[in-house]
Amino acid sequence: MITVRPARLPDDKPAILRFIDGLQRFEADFESDRRLDPAYPEDQFAALQKQTENGVFLIAEIQGAAVGWAAVYEHESPTYVVPEERHCAVICEAYVDAAVRGQGAGRALLSACEAWARGRGLGVVHIGHLAGNARASAVYEKAGFAPYVILRRKKLP
């Protein structure tokens, strides 16, 4: 059985650092710009703590063992977005250990993020993923997320 709960810091920090590193290494298989140096997980953890001051870290567990996590926060979209959708939630991190993927932990984390957003009166949730991450694309689409913005890049010589 999968449960999702708010992270308890500092106790959950080692697991979160492992998840941050795991996501980075997973993405490095199809994206060449991923940092893999030993300092990265701590750097990202510090950045996420600032980014999610109006948010929460969530931990997915199976039989008491942390198997994944998500980070979600409140965000104010630019003024070109209609007022009723401007104040929204952003899921900025989501990761599940490879050994338990496909067992529902990712969906449970997404559902918990959505519940968190609803609890704050937010009617829109955003999540992004790398273009090469077909698995994330399929999971998010199955969870009801539709494409919204396409970000393109060009590497200059």
- Asked if residue 151 belongs to a domain, the reply is no
Cβ neighbours for 149, distance < 8 A, ≥ 6 positions apart: none
Average of per-residue pLDDT across 51-66: 97
Residue 148: inside a domain = no
Reported as type and span, the H/E element at residue 13 is helix 13-28
Which structural domain, as residue segments, surrounds residue 33? 2-142
- The secondary structure of the chain in percent helix, strand, coil, rounded to multiples of 5, reads 40, 25, 40
What one-character DSSP code corresponds to residue 98?
G
H/E run at residue 134: helix 134-142
Task: Tell me the per-residue pLDDT of 116-154, one tens digit each, with 9 for 90 and over.
Answer: 999 999 999 999 999 999 999 999 999 999 999 999 999
Structural domains of the chain, count: 1
Q: Give the pLDDT score at 41.
A: 98
**Confidence (pTM):** 0.95
Segment 29-50, tens digit of pLDDT: 999 999 999 999 999 999 999 9
Number of continuous H segments (helices) and E segments (strands) in the chain: 5, 5
Residue 17 — pLDDT band, cuts 50, 70, 90? very high
